[in-house]
Structure 1
Amino acid sequence: MAYFRWLLVLLGLSLLASIEIETVGTRLTSTSGQVHGHLKVLSSSSRRDHERRLGEVWSTGIMGKMKQWFTRFVKKIKRTRLWQYLWPTKEAEIIPPVLEQSVVKLVNDYKPGTENPIGMRPFQQMYNLLRYHKGRLADAILIETLLRHSSIDKVARVVAEAASKHSTKLEGEMLNKALIDAMLRASPPYETNKVFDILKLDVENADLFRDHLLDTWIAFKKKSDRFETDFVHELLKRFTDKFDDKHINSIFEQGSIHTRHDSLPYLQSFYWISTNRSPDAVAKILKLKTINTDKEFYKVKAWVSFVMLDPKSDTTFMPTLRSHLNSDIMKKLEAETTLFDPYARKLFQGLRDEKATNSSTRWIDAFTDVAAYILQWMP
C-alpha cells in the first residue's frame, strides 16, 4: 500500500513536470517564431540560446527543485528490498575486484589472537559500500560473498571473534546472525549434528567452552531445532563417547561454562542423571561444603539444576537444598536466581511455601504459649 501511494505521488509530479515543459516550450517556440518572422531565418546562435534557456528552467525554480527531489527519491527507492528483488544490482558493479580479493585474503589468513579483519580498513570499505547500495541486505550479501571464497569455519571464526570484542561487537553480531541464516538456507541444508564438525570444534580441546565458535554452534542449534536442550544432549553424547567420568567432571568445573552459557548447567545435570548419581554424591563431587561462593557459585547453580531434575524433587527439592546449603548460600541463591535459570520456578515456589508454613507455625506456637499460660492459672 505504501508503494502504491508513492507511485501516485510520482505520477502526479510527472504530470506537473510535463505541463510546465510544454508551457515553457510553447513560450520559447512563440518567441523564436516572432524572431523568424522578422529575420526570416533562425540562426544557429538562436537555437543554442533556446537550449540554454530550456536548461535554465530545469536547473532553477520549481523544476530544479523537483529534479533534485526526484533524484533523491530514486536513490532512496533503489535501496529498498522490493527494488533489489525486481532489479538486483550485481555485487561486481559495487565492489571493485581488487577490494574483494583483499578482504578474502584477510579472512583466509586470520589467526586467533591477531587483529580481526572486520576492524581493518579494506573490510570496512567493502562493508560500507554494500550498506550504501544494498541497505539491510548488506550483511547477507557480504557473508555470501565470503563463503564463495572461504570455508565456513574460517568465516565463522572471524565473525565470532569480532562479536566478542567491543570495537567490532555490532558488526560481528549482525554478520554472525547473517551467517547462521545463510547456513539455514543452504541447499542441501546443513545437518545440525554435523555443524559441530564443520566448525572444527573439538571436545578434546581444553578451552572448548572459551571458544567463541561454540557460541555460533549453540545459536545454530537453537534456531534450527527449536529446542533449547537439544544442543545439551548433543554435547553430552560427544563427551560421554570420548571421555570417562573423571575427565568429564574436570571439564564441567570450568567456570567459563556458566558465565557465558546460562543453559549449560543442564549439561552437568543430564550427565549426572545418566550415571545414576544421587544429590549427596554430586554434592561431594562439587565439594559444596567448602566452595568459594564468590568464584565457584556456578557449582551451586549446577547442583540445584540437577536436584530439580530428580524424579523425586516434587517433594524433596527444598529439604534437599536445606540439608546441603547453609543459610548464607540460600540467600545468595535466592538473590542471584533469574527467571532464565531452569530451577527458578521450583525454587521460588518452594520459598513461598516455606514462608507460608513458617507463618502458620508461628501462629500455632503463639496460640499454644497463650493456652499454656492460661492453663497454669486455672484451678
Structure 2
Amino acid sequence: MSAQDYVSTYAGHYFDFSEAVPFFLISLAGLCVVIGIILIMARVRAEFDRSHPSGGQNFDADEDKGISAEYDLNIDSDYYAKDRERAAAAKIDQDYYTEPYEDEDDTVKYPKPSNLTSRNDRANAGSIRTRNTETRSRSRGRAPQDIRALRFMESFFEMAFASTSVLLLLALYYIINDRISGPVASLWRSYKDWMLIGFLLLSMIVNRIFDRVLVHLRNLDSKQRGSMRLISSLYVVLILMYIRFIYDDLNYENLIIYFVTLIIGRFVYFDVTWEGFRGDISGIARNFPFLMLMVAYSGFVIWYGFHSGFLLKANGVIVSTLIAHLFMDVAIFLIDKTRILRLLCR
C-alpha cells in the first residue's frame, strides 16, 4: 500500500465528526476527572506538609530549588504584564530600587540610579515597578497547595505531550516499516537506523512545540521536565509490552529493546555520579502517581475508542493509540485556554 492510499483509507473515518465528537467529549470528561484527582492530591499533600513540616519540606526540596523566585514573576503572567516586561522590571528593581541607608547626619537616603539618566526613565521605571509589585503581591497571595496544584497539573500535561511525541515516532516507524511499499520502503530498508534517529529528533522538536507553544508550561523547571519525560518513556515501554504480549505482535520487540536501552542510558552513562543517579530514582518515585494516572486515563479513552469503533485495529494499535493521545492533547489545550485551571487554583 502506498502512503497516499494509506492516508485516504483512514482519513475519512477519523474525520467523521459524528464519531469523532463523542470520542473527544469522552477524552475531555476523562481529563476533568484527572484534574479533580490532581487537585485532591495537592490538597492531601498540603495537609501532610502542614502536619509534618520537615517531611513536607524535604519532599519538595529538590523541586523547589532554583524556581521559587520564578513563581513570583511567572504566576498569572497572562493576566498582568508580559514576561519580557516583568523581567525588565525585575532588573530595574535590582539596579535602582535598593534598600535605603543612613547618612552621617542620620537622615535616610535612597541611592541614585546608575542606569537611569532622565526623569522620564525614572518615571517609566516606577510605572513598571508598580505593575510588577502588584503581580508579585498577587502571586504571593496564593496558598502553597495552589502552586503545588499548578505544578502537578503541568507535570501531567508534560507527560502527556512527551508521550504523544514519542508515539508519533513509533507510529511513523510502524507505518513505514509495515504498511508502505515502493521507493519509500526500499529507502527505509537502507537507512532505517539513521531515519529512526531523525524521528527521535523530530519527537523532541514536537515535544518542545507542545509545551512551549500549544500550552505554555510556566511552572516546571528543567529537572521536573526531565523527570516527566523519563516517566513518559516508561509509559511508552508499558504500551509496547502490552501490544507485544496481548496482541502477540513481534514487530515491536526491537522498539522495546530500543527504549529500554534509552532508559538505562539515562541512569548509566560514562560520567554518571551517585547524586545524579539518586536524583533520577527520586524523580521516578516522586512522579510515579502521574504514571498511574496516565495509564488509567489513556487506558479508559483507548478502550472506549476500540469499543465504540472509532479507533481501528486495522491501521495498527500504535497508530490508534497516537490518535487517542492527540485527542487528549486537544482537550488539554482547550482546558488551558479557558483558564479554568487558574480559577480552580485561586
Q: TM-score, normalised by structure 2?
A: 0.23
Larger radius of gyration: 1
Q: TM-score, normalised by structure 1?
A: 0.21
